[in-house]
Structure 1
Amino acid sequence: MSSFDDQGFPIVHLSSDGWSTEDEATATCFCGAVQLVLPLKKPGLLNRHVCHCIDCRKIGSAFYQSNITVDDTYLKHVRGEDNLSAFSEEKTIRANATMSNYFCKTCGTLMYRRGARFPGLTILRTGTVDDLSLADTKLRPQVEQFIERRAAWSKPIDSTAQVVGMHQPSDIEGIP
Protein backbone atom coordinates (compact mmCIF):
# COMPACT_ATOMS: atom_id res chain seq x y z
CA MET A 1 0.00 0.00 0.00
CA SER A 2 1.25 3.45 -0.89
CA SER A 3 0.51 6.28 1.50
CA PHE A 4 1.53 9.84 2.27
CA ASP A 5 4.18 8.46 4.61
CA ASP A 6 5.99 6.88 1.65
CA GLN A 7 8.77 8.93 0.14
CA GLY A 8 7.59 10.43 -3.13
CA PHE A 9 3.85 10.09 -2.49
CA PRO A 10 2.60 13.55 -3.41
CA ILE A 11 0.96 15.74 -0.82
CA VAL A 12 -1.12 18.00 -3.00
CA HIS A 13 -3.77 19.31 -0.63
CA LEU A 14 -4.53 19.84 3.06
CA SER A 15 -5.31 16.17 3.79
CA SER A 16 -2.54 13.66 4.43
CA ASP A 17 -4.39 10.35 4.67
CA GLY A 18 -4.63 9.36 1.00
CA TRP A 19 -3.53 5.89 -0.08
CA SER A 20 -3.55 3.37 -2.91
CA THR A 21 -3.32 -0.43 -3.25
CA GLU A 22 -3.40 -2.74 -6.26
CA ASP A 23 -7.21 -2.66 -6.21
CA GLU A 24 -8.29 0.73 -4.80
CA ALA A 25 -7.22 4.32 -4.24
CA THR A 26 -8.50 7.41 -2.49
CA ALA A 27 -9.67 10.62 -4.12
CA THR A 28 -9.81 13.68 -1.87
CA CYS A 29 -10.88 17.29 -2.34
CA PHE A 30 -8.31 20.05 -1.87
CA CYS A 31 -9.26 20.82 1.75
CA GLY A 32 -9.65 17.16 2.76
CA ALA A 33 -13.30 17.38 3.84
CA VAL A 34 -14.47 14.92 1.14
CA GLN A 35 -12.77 11.59 0.50
CA LEU A 36 -13.79 8.68 -1.72
CA VAL A 37 -12.40 5.22 -2.39
CA LEU A 38 -12.50 4.15 -6.02
CA PRO A 39 -11.70 0.86 -7.74
CA LEU A 40 -8.61 0.55 -9.91
CA LYS A 41 -9.76 -2.57 -11.78
CA LYS A 42 -12.80 -3.96 -13.55
CA PRO A 43 -15.61 -4.56 -12.93
CA GLY A 44 -15.79 -1.33 -10.87
CA LEU A 45 -13.47 0.78 -13.02
CA LEU A 46 -15.17 1.07 -16.41
CA ASN A 47 -12.99 3.49 -18.36
CA ARG A 48 -10.48 6.31 -18.25
CA HIS A 49 -10.96 9.15 -20.69
CA VAL A 50 -9.98 12.68 -21.55
CA CYS A 51 -12.93 14.81 -22.58
CA HIS A 52 -12.73 17.92 -24.74
CA CYS A 53 -16.48 18.69 -24.70
CA ILE A 54 -17.66 22.21 -23.91
CA ASP A 55 -19.29 21.08 -20.64
CA CYS A 56 -16.05 19.60 -19.28
CA ARG A 57 -14.04 22.57 -20.44
CA LYS A 58 -16.35 25.04 -18.68
CA ILE A 59 -17.13 23.12 -15.48
CA GLY A 60 -13.45 22.21 -15.02
CA SER A 61 -12.01 25.63 -15.92
CA ALA A 62 -9.56 23.97 -18.31
CA PHE A 63 -9.25 23.07 -21.99
CA TYR A 64 -9.98 19.40 -21.26
CA GLN A 65 -10.71 17.10 -18.33
CA SER A 66 -9.26 13.74 -17.38
CA ASN A 67 -12.00 11.46 -16.06
CA ILE A 68 -12.60 8.00 -14.61
CA THR A 69 -15.95 6.26 -15.02
CA VAL A 70 -16.86 4.03 -12.07
CA ASP A 71 -19.78 1.73 -11.32
CA ASP A 72 -21.56 3.33 -8.32
CA THR A 73 -21.68 0.06 -6.39
CA TYR A 74 -17.85 0.16 -6.15
CA LEU A 75 -17.54 3.82 -5.12
CA LYS A 76 -17.28 4.44 -1.37
CA HIS A 77 -17.67 7.76 0.41
CA VAL A 78 -15.18 7.66 3.30
CA ARG A 79 -16.12 11.08 4.60
CA GLY A 80 -17.81 14.29 3.59
CA GLU A 81 -20.72 13.03 1.50
CA ASP A 82 -22.85 15.53 3.43
CA ASN A 83 -20.28 18.21 2.53
CA LEU A 84 -21.00 17.87 -1.19
CA SER A 85 -23.12 20.43 -2.98
CA ALA A 86 -24.87 19.46 -6.21
CA PHE A 87 -25.35 21.72 -9.20
CA SER A 88 -27.54 20.18 -11.90
CA GLU A 89 -27.95 21.39 -15.45
CA GLU A 90 -30.19 20.29 -18.29
CA LYS A 91 -28.58 22.34 -21.03
CA THR A 92 -25.65 20.02 -21.67
CA ILE A 93 -23.92 18.60 -24.72
CA ARG A 94 -26.93 16.30 -25.05
CA ALA A 95 -30.30 18.10 -24.98
CA ASN A 96 -32.49 17.26 -21.99
CA ALA A 97 -29.80 15.06 -20.45
CA THR A 98 -29.35 16.40 -16.93
CA MET A 99 -25.83 16.28 -15.51
CA SER A 100 -25.31 16.77 -11.78
CA ASN A 101 -21.98 18.10 -10.57
CA TYR A 102 -20.83 17.41 -7.00
CA PHE A 103 -18.52 19.96 -5.39
CA CYS A 104 -16.98 20.18 -1.92
CA LYS A 105 -18.91 22.92 -0.08
CA THR A 106 -15.74 24.04 1.69
CA CYS A 107 -13.09 24.31 -1.04
CA GLY A 108 -15.13 24.01 -4.25
CA THR A 109 -13.32 20.99 -5.70
CA LEU A 110 -15.42 19.24 -8.36
CA MET A 111 -15.27 15.62 -7.21
CA TYR A 112 -17.53 13.97 -9.76
CA ARG A 113 -20.46 14.18 -12.17
CA ARG A 114 -23.51 11.95 -12.60
CA GLY A 115 -25.73 11.99 -15.66
CA ALA A 116 -29.31 10.99 -16.37
CA ARG A 117 -28.02 9.19 -19.47
CA PHE A 118 -25.65 7.10 -17.32
CA PRO A 119 -27.65 5.69 -14.40
CA GLY A 120 -25.51 3.84 -11.86
CA LEU A 121 -22.28 5.45 -13.05
CA THR A 122 -20.10 8.21 -11.63
CA ILE A 123 -17.56 10.23 -13.61
CA LEU A 124 -14.74 11.15 -11.22
CA ARG A 125 -12.09 13.76 -11.91
CA THR A 126 -8.72 12.04 -12.19
CA GLY A 127 -7.04 15.05 -10.58
CA THR A 128 -8.74 14.29 -7.26
CA VAL A 129 -6.96 10.92 -6.94
CA ASP A 130 -4.39 11.22 -4.16
CA ASP A 131 -1.70 8.97 -5.67
CA LEU A 132 -0.71 11.10 -8.65
CA SER A 133 1.55 8.36 -10.04
CA LEU A 134 -1.59 6.41 -11.00
CA ALA A 135 -2.17 8.91 -13.83
CA ASP A 136 0.82 7.35 -15.61
CA THR A 137 -0.20 3.75 -14.92
CA LYS A 138 -3.61 2.38 -13.92
CA LEU A 139 -5.49 5.63 -14.59
CA ARG A 140 -3.78 6.55 -17.87
CA PRO A 141 -6.45 7.56 -20.41
CA GLN A 142 -7.70 4.94 -22.85
CA VAL A 143 -9.59 7.36 -25.08
CA GLU A 144 -9.95 11.04 -25.91
CA GLN A 145 -13.48 12.06 -26.80
CA PHE A 146 -14.97 15.12 -28.48
CA ILE A 147 -11.65 15.58 -30.25
CA GLU A 148 -13.38 17.94 -32.69
CA ARG A 149 -13.48 20.39 -29.74
CA ARG A 150 -9.82 19.91 -28.76
CA ALA A 151 -7.80 23.14 -28.50
CA ALA A 152 -5.61 23.47 -31.60
CA TRP A 153 -2.40 23.48 -29.56
CA SER A 154 -3.31 20.26 -27.69
CA LYS A 155 -1.92 17.11 -29.30
CA PRO A 156 -3.44 13.59 -29.16
CA ILE A 157 -2.23 11.38 -26.33
CA ASP A 158 -0.14 8.46 -27.63
CA SER A 159 -1.80 5.03 -27.56
CA THR A 160 -5.30 6.35 -26.87
CA ALA A 161 -8.34 5.97 -29.08
CA GLN A 162 -9.38 9.25 -30.71
CA VAL A 163 -13.15 9.69 -30.97
CA VAL A 164 -15.34 12.38 -32.50
CA GLY A 165 -18.24 12.90 -30.10
CA MET A 166 -18.77 10.66 -27.08
CA HIS A 167 -16.93 7.34 -26.98
CA GLN A 168 -18.64 3.95 -26.80
CA PRO A 169 -17.39 0.85 -24.96
CA SER A 170 -16.30 -0.65 -28.29
CA ASP A 171 -13.89 2.28 -28.80
CA ILE A 172 -11.69 1.12 -25.93
CA GLU A 173 -11.81 -2.66 -26.40
CA GLY A 174 -8.28 -4.01 -26.27
CA ILE A 175 -6.78 -0.84 -24.77
CA PRO A 176 -5.36 -1.76 -21.35
Structure 2
Amino acid sequence: MFASGFIVNDSALHHLKGEDKLATFSRQEGISTGNTVTNHFCSVCGTLMYRRSSGFPGMTVPRIGTVDNLELHSTKLKPKIEQFAKDRVEWLHAGEGVQQVEGNFFTGGK
Protein backbone atom coordinates (compact mmCIF):
# COMPACT_ATOMS: atom_id res chain seq x y z
CA MET A 1 0.00 0.00 0.00
CA PHE A 2 2.72 2.48 0.89
CA ALA A 3 6.34 2.73 1.83
CA SER A 4 8.37 5.36 3.61
CA GLY A 5 11.88 6.09 2.51
CA PHE A 6 14.39 8.91 2.32
CA ILE A 7 17.15 9.75 -0.12
CA VAL A 8 20.83 9.94 0.81
CA ASN A 9 24.05 10.24 -1.16
CA ASP A 10 25.84 6.91 -1.40
CA SER A 11 28.84 8.54 0.28
CA ALA A 12 26.71 9.09 3.42
CA LEU A 13 25.53 5.46 3.64
CA HIS A 14 27.62 3.30 5.95
CA HIS A 15 26.89 -0.32 6.83
CA LEU A 16 27.69 -1.05 10.46
CA LYS A 17 27.26 -4.78 9.88
CA GLY A 18 25.49 -7.25 7.64
CA GLU A 19 26.42 -5.83 4.24
CA ASP A 20 27.71 -9.27 3.28
CA LYS A 21 24.19 -10.65 3.91
CA LEU A 22 22.51 -8.35 1.37
CA ALA A 23 21.08 -9.79 -1.83
CA THR A 24 19.73 -7.81 -4.79
CA PHE A 25 16.84 -7.97 -7.21
CA SER A 26 16.54 -5.53 -10.13
CA ARG A 27 13.59 -4.69 -12.34
CA GLN A 28 12.54 -2.20 -14.96
CA GLU A 29 9.05 -3.58 -15.70
CA GLY A 30 6.30 -1.60 -14.01
CA ILE A 31 8.57 1.33 -13.13
CA SER A 32 6.73 4.41 -14.43
CA THR A 33 9.94 6.30 -15.24
CA GLY A 34 11.48 3.40 -17.18
CA ASN A 35 14.48 3.37 -14.85
CA THR A 36 15.94 0.19 -13.42
CA VAL A 37 15.35 -0.15 -9.68
CA THR A 38 17.50 -2.49 -7.61
CA ASN A 39 16.24 -3.70 -4.24
CA HIS A 40 18.84 -4.56 -1.60
CA PHE A 41 17.40 -6.93 0.97
CA CYS A 42 18.53 -9.21 3.77
CA SER A 43 19.17 -12.70 2.41
CA VAL A 44 18.43 -14.14 5.87
CA CYS A 45 15.08 -12.53 6.81
CA GLY A 46 13.99 -10.88 3.55
CA THR A 47 13.72 -7.32 4.92
CA LEU A 48 14.05 -4.66 2.21
CA MET A 49 16.82 -2.36 3.41
CA TYR A 50 17.08 0.12 0.54
CA ARG A 51 16.64 0.73 -3.16
CA ARG A 52 18.83 2.25 -5.84
CA SER A 53 17.57 3.57 -9.17
CA SER A 54 19.36 4.23 -12.44
CA GLY A 55 17.46 7.52 -12.38
CA PHE A 56 19.33 8.66 -9.26
CA PRO A 57 22.97 7.71 -9.74
CA GLY A 58 25.06 8.00 -6.60
CA MET A 59 21.97 7.99 -4.34
CA THR A 60 20.24 5.40 -2.17
CA VAL A 61 16.68 5.25 -0.82
CA PRO A 62 16.76 3.47 2.57
CA ARG A 63 13.53 2.41 4.24
CA ILE A 64 12.71 4.57 7.25
CA GLY A 65 12.10 1.43 9.32
CA THR A 66 15.77 0.51 9.00
CA VAL A 67 16.70 3.49 11.20
CA ASP A 68 16.47 2.73 14.92
CA ASN A 69 16.96 6.31 16.18
CA LEU A 70 13.50 7.63 17.13
CA GLU A 71 14.81 11.19 17.46
CA LEU A 72 15.64 11.14 13.75
CA HIS A 73 12.11 9.92 12.96
CA SER A 74 10.67 12.98 14.71
CA THR A 75 13.08 15.44 13.11
CA LYS A 76 15.16 14.84 9.99
CA LEU A 77 13.14 11.85 8.71
CA LYS A 78 9.72 13.45 9.15
CA PRO A 79 7.99 13.22 5.74
CA LYS A 80 8.04 16.33 3.55
CA ILE A 81 6.43 14.89 0.39
CA GLU A 82 3.76 12.27 -0.24
CA GLN A 83 3.95 10.86 -3.76
CA PHE A 84 1.05 9.14 -5.53
CA ALA A 85 -1.43 10.85 -3.21
CA LYS A 86 -4.19 10.12 -5.75
CA ASP A 87 -3.82 6.41 -4.90
CA ARG A 88 -4.03 6.81 -1.09
CA VAL A 89 -6.72 4.66 0.53
CA GLU A 90 -9.64 6.69 1.89
CA TRP A 91 -9.02 5.81 5.55
CA LEU A 92 -5.44 7.12 5.50
CA HIS A 93 -5.22 10.91 5.79
CA ALA A 94 -2.48 13.16 4.48
CA GLY A 95 0.25 14.07 6.92
CA GLU A 96 0.03 17.54 8.42
CA GLY A 97 2.30 19.91 6.51
CA VAL A 98 3.30 17.23 3.99
CA GLN A 99 3.33 18.31 0.32
CA GLN A 100 0.87 16.20 -1.70
CA VAL A 101 1.86 15.10 -5.21
CA GLU A 102 -0.60 13.19 -7.42
CA GLY A 103 2.08 11.00 -9.05
CA ASN A 104 5.86 10.77 -8.94
CA PHE A 105 7.40 13.93 -7.45
CA PHE A 106 10.57 13.46 -9.49
CA THR A 107 8.72 13.46 -12.82
CA GLY A 108 6.75 16.62 -12.11
CA GLY A 109 3.89 14.93 -10.26
CA LYS A 110 2.68 12.86 -13.18
TM-score scaled by structure 2? 0.88
Question: Per the alignment, in what secondary structure is the counterpart of residue 20 of structure 2?
Answer: helix
**Tell me, which stretches of 5 or more residues in structure 2 are unaligned?**
none
Name the aligned partner's letter for residue 76 of structure 1. H
Give the Å deviation of 1:110.
Answer: 0.5
Residue 75 (str. 1) matches residue 10 (str. 2) = no
Alpha-carbon distance between aligned partners in 2 of 1:101 and 1:107, rounded to the nearest angstrom: 14
Match of 1:113 among 29, 45, 51: 51
Give the Å deviation of 1:141.
Answer: 0.3
Which has the larger Rg?
A: 1
- The count of residues paired between Structure 1 and Structure 2 equals 108
Residue 85 (str. 1) matches residue 23 (str. 2) = yes
CA RMSD of aligned residues (A): 1.8
Question: Per the alignment, in what secondary structure is the counterpart of residue 16 of structure 2?
Answer: strand
Residue correspondence of structure 1 range 1-176 to structure 2 within 5 A:
63-94=1-32, 96-168=34-106
Give the Å deviation of 1:134.
Answer: 2.3
Conserved 8 A contact 1:92-1:99 = no
**Tell me, which stretches of 5 or more residues in structure 1 are unaligned?**
1-62, 172-176
Identity %: 44
Relative to 1, partners in 2 of residues 1:161 and 1:124: Cα closer, same or farther, differing over 3 Å? same
1:47 aligns to what?
A: none
